[in-house]
Amino acid sequence: MYMRSGNPSLKDDKFIRSSASGNGRLMTIQGTVNKTFILLLLVLATCIYSWNQFLNDPGSVTPLILIGAIGGFIVALITIFVPKISPITAPIYALLEGLFIGAISAQYEVQFGGIVFQAVLLTIGVLLS
């Protein structure tokens, strides 16, 4: 069964490999694992920063939330429509999303104690599986 999507990143032409476009390199499992690890470290770095900012001054994280959410959305759209620059935009997206996730997670942790720890454990479990 063929499933159609309106998502521009899932159009048929995105999956057709052309020797004329691109640099001829193929995606490998090791390369994917390495890039996933690097992006995860970037997310964690800014996540820890915004979490600590919330603990020091809860009111100071509102700009971090807005910058992370809106900036991340804009960078995601740029990456979808101009995938050739994804080596540049992927780390930027990871840093921006870390700002957002850290600040929001700290707020939820204060409101619902223990929820962030459970979410992190489940996320790590899914990533490793």
For residues 19 and 22, what is the distance between their CA atoms, to the nearest angstrom? 7
Residues 6+ apart with CB under 8 A from 65: 99, 100, 103, 104
Report the predicted TM-score, pTM, of the whole model to 2 decimal places: 0.77
Q: What is the mean pLDDT of residues 74-91?
A: 94
Better-scored residue on pLDDT, 102 or 7: 102
**Of 32-36, 74-78, 91-95, which range is least confident?**
32-36
CA angle 26, 89, 79 (to 5 degrees): 75
Q: What is the mean pLDDT of residues 53-65?
A: 91
Residue 1, pLDDT > 50, answer: no
